[in-house]
Amino acid sequence: MKYLADEMLGKLCKWLRFLGYDTEYFSGGTDAELLLKGRLEERMILTRDSRLFNDVKNKGNAVCFIKFDGLKEQLLQIKNEFNIKDLSGRFRRCSVCNKLLEEADREFVKKLVPPYILQTKDEFRYCSNCRKVYWKGSHSKHINEIIEEVFNE
């Protein structure tokens, strides 16, 4: 399942990327553009806007109305509605731009990360689109705690 989060769901979008799910963020465009993107890319549209939800649904697009404002409740809803169990893609996708990350070694990232990180970490992942570098620990304990709480891992 691929997702398309509307403007009001930026945080949820980022968290679905943490979990490894292909999620695009839509902002600044018209409802018609949102609909078209969802259809062309075969994405489940996620929206917090009931008017938009009804409109999209009536036009036959795949759409899910997110019922909650809180992040944990939103994640739980997604987990239950789409029966999400597989978290093997966790932290393998760029949370900024949604691209899949590539494995990188110390040599590759040496000019891209602070010296302290270079000395203490040896596994890195790199986004070839926005050039962000990730390493173990760059996703805070807090993020893991929330994921574990929601998914009972």
Residues that bind Zn ion (CB under 5 A): 94, 96-97, 99, 127, 129-130
Q: Is 64 or 94 the residue whose CB approaches Zn ion more closely? A: 94
**Least distance between Zn ion and beta carbon 143 (Å):** 17
**Least distance between Zn ion and beta carbon 24 (Å):** 13
Q: Is 119 or 129 the residue whose CB approaches Zn ion more closely? A: 129
Q: Is 25 or 53 the residue whose CB approaches Zn ion more closely? A: 25
**Least distance between Zn ion and beta carbon 80 (Å):** 29
Q: Under DSSP, is residue 32 helix (H, G, I), strand (E, B) or coil?
A: helix
Q: Is 97 or 146 the residue whose CB approaches Zn ion more closely? A: 97
Q: Are 47 and 10 in contact (CB under 8 A)?
A: no
Q: Is 78 or 127 the residue whose CB approaches Zn ion more closely? A: 127
Q: Are 62 and 44 in contact (CB under 8 A)?
A: yes
Nearest to 45 by CA among 148, 31, 115, 99: 31
Q: Under DSSP, is residue 86 helix (H, G, I), strand (E, B) or coil?
A: coil
Q: Both tokens of residue 46?
A: 């996620």
Q: Both tokens of residue 41?
A: 């890319």
List phi, psi (to 5°) of 36.
Answer: -65, -45
Q: What angle do CA 80, 72, 43 make, to 5 degrees?
A: 55
**Least distance between Zn ion and beta carbon 101 (Å):** 8
**Least distance between Zn ion and beta carbon 82 (Å):** 24
